Structure 1
Amino acid sequence: MPTLTFRFYRELNDFLAPPLRQRNFSFDFAALGSIKNAIESLGVPHTEVDLVLVNGQSVNFEYRPQDGDRVSVYPLFESLDISSITRLRPYPLRESRFILDCHLGRLARYLRMLGFDCIFYGHCTDEQLVKISVDQQRILLTRDIELLKRRALTHAYYVRATKPLNQIEEIITRLQLQNSFAPFSRCTFCNAPLVKVSKQAVWSKVPEQSRRRFNDFACCKNCGRVYWKGSHYERMQRLIEKLRKK
C-alpha cells in the first residue's frame, strides 16, 4: 500500500488522534486520491488548512500524492496574506465577516457588540450556511467538524471552546482581530448598523429613569431597538479592553 509521511502544525493537531500529534508520522492508504481527501481522512477539515507542502513545494487540494511523499500541513492564516506561496486559496478575507451555525448564538452577539458583521439564524440548514459563506465571502464559524469538510467552503473555522466568553477570546486571538473592533456600532440582536439619535426621537422607548440619567442614544436602523450606556456598558468596556490585549 502507498505510504505518506505527515506533519501537522499548531492547532491542526487538535483534530488528530493523540499518538499522531506534534510529530512526523507515516500512514498507509489503500488507494491515493487527492491530498484533500488524504488530509480529511485523518480528521482534519480542509477549511482549517491554509498551506500544504509536499516535499517542500506548495500544492493545491487536487494534488494527487505519490507513494513516499512527505506532507507538511499548516493552519489558517486568516489575518496574514500568504497568497504568494499557498496554492489553496487566491486571497484571505481582508474584511472579517462571519456566519455562525445555530449553536453559537451568544458568540454572534459578542461579535456584533465588537462591531463585526455577523449573520446568525436560529434555524439554518448546512447547505444554506455553506451557500451564504461562499456567496457573501463570510467566515463560517461552527463546532460541526463534518460541516467544515464541505468541498465548496473556503473560509471557515472550528470553534474549540464551549463557553461563549472563551469562544470570543479564541476567535479574537486566533484570527488576530484586536485592531478591527468597532464597539457598539451594530445591533446585537439583528446585526444592522446603529445610528445616533436624539433623546426626543426615542423618548417613548426609553424608561423614565434612563431618560433622566443619559443623553446619548443610538437606534438600530432595522429593528428599532434603542441603546444607551446603561449598567452593562462598563462591563462590556472591560471585556473589550481585555480582548484588545489578547
Structure 2
Amino acid sequence: MPRVTFRFYRELNDFLPRHLRQREFERDFLLAGSIKDAIENIGAPHTEVDLILVNGRSVDFDYLLRDGDRVSVYPVFESLDISTVTRLRPHPLRETRFVLDCHLGRLARYLRMLGFDSLFRSDYADETLLQVSVAQRRILLTRDIGLLKRRQLERGYFVRATKPREQLGEVIERLQLQGCLRPFTRCIACNGSIAAVPKQDIADLLPENTRRYFDEFFQCRDCLRIYWKGSHYERMSLLVRELRAGYG
C-alpha cells in the first residue's frame, strides 16, 4: 500500500481538517492514482493549486503517486517567480471576468460596481456555471468546493467569507485586482455598460427631487437604468478608496 507524505501551504490549509493544517501528514492509498485526485480527496480543489513539488521536483496533475513520495502543495503565487517550474494555472487573463454561483448575488453587484464583467443568475445550474466559465474564460466564484473539483474547470476561486462586503475585499486582495478597478462603468442590475446621458433626454423618467438637485446622469446601454451621484455614490466611492488602499 503506497504511503505518501503531504504538506499544504498558506491558504490551501483552509480546505483541510484542522488537525492537518500547517504540518506534514501521511496518507495511505489502496491504489497509486494521480496526484490531482489525491489532493482533491484530501480537500483542496485543483483550481486553487499553482505548484506541486514531489521530492523537490515540480510535477503536473497527472503525476502518479509512488510509495515514499513527499508532496508539497502551493497555492496561486502572488509575487514569487516560479517561471522555471511546472506552473499549473493557466496564464493570467487579459481581462478579469467572473461568473458567480447562486449564493453570491450581492457580491456580483459589488463587482459590477467596480467595473468587472460579472455574470450572475439565481437559476444557473452547476453545469451551466462550468460551461460559461470554460467557454468564456471567466473565473468561477463559488462557495461550493465540490464544484471547483470538476476536472474541466480551469479558473475558479472558493470564496471563504460569508458577508458580501468581506467577500468583495477578499476577492480583490486574493486576486490582486486593486489596480484593475473601473468603478461606476457597469450596471449593477444587469451587468451592461454605463455611459453619460444628457439630462434632457431622461428628465421625464426622473423623480422630482432628483431632477431638481442633480444635473449629471448615466444610463445603462442594455436595461436603460439611470444613475446619478447621490448619497449611495459617496458611500461606494469610499469603499473604492479603501479597496485600492488594500482594504479587505
What is the TM-score when the length of structure 1 is the normalising length? Answer: 0.96
Residue 86 of structure 1 and its aligned partner are, at CA, apart by 2.8
Match for residue 29 of structure 2?
A: 29
Which whole-Å CA distance do the structure 2 matches of 1:121 and 1:188 have between them?
Answer: 13
Aligned length: 246
Match for residue 196 of structure 1?
A: 196
Query: Which consecutive segments of 4 or more residues in structure 1 shift more than 4 A?
Result: 78-84
- 1:38 to 2:38 alignment: yes
Uncovered stretches (5+) of structure 1, i.e. residues with no partner? none
Match for residue 147 of structure 1?
A: 147
Residue 27 of structure 1 and its aligned partner are, at CA, apart by 1.1
Which whole-Å CA distance do the structure 1 matches of 2:52 and 2:94 have between them?
Answer: 21
Q: Structure 1 residues 196, 83: closer, same or farther in 2, change over 3 A? A: farther
- 1:11 to 2:2 alignment: no
Which whole-Å CA distance do the structure 1 matches of 2:53 and 2:202 have between them?
Answer: 58
- 1:174 to 2:174 alignment: yes
Match for residue 72 of structure 2?
A: 72
- Contact kept? 2:99, 2:118, Cα under 8 Å: yes
CA deviations 1:159-184 (Å, max 9, x no partner) are: 00101011001111111111110000
- Contact kept? 1:2, 1:29, Cα under 8 Å: yes
Residue 80 of structure 1 and its aligned partner are, at CA, apart by 7.9
- Contact kept? 1:114, 1:184, Cα under 8 Å: yes
Name the aligned partner's letter for residue 189 of structure 2. Answer: F
- Contact kept? 2:49, 2:89, Cα under 8 Å: no
- Contact kept? 1:192, 1:222, Cα under 8 Å: yes
Residue 19 of structure 1 and its aligned partner are, at CA, apart by 1.2
Residue 76 of structure 1 and its aligned partner are, at CA, apart by 2.3
- 1:214 to 2:214 alignment: yes
Query: Matched residues, percent identical?
Result: 63
Q: Structure 1 residues 205, 84: closer, same or farther in 2, change over 3 A? A: farther
Name the aligned partner's letter for residue 133 of structure 1. Answer: S
Residue 93 of structure 1 and its aligned partner are, at CA, apart by 2.1
- Contact kept? 1:81, 1:92, Cα under 8 Å: no
The CA RMSD measured in Å over matched residues stands at 1.5
Q: Structure 1 residues 5, 85: closer, same or farther in 2, change over 3 A? A: same
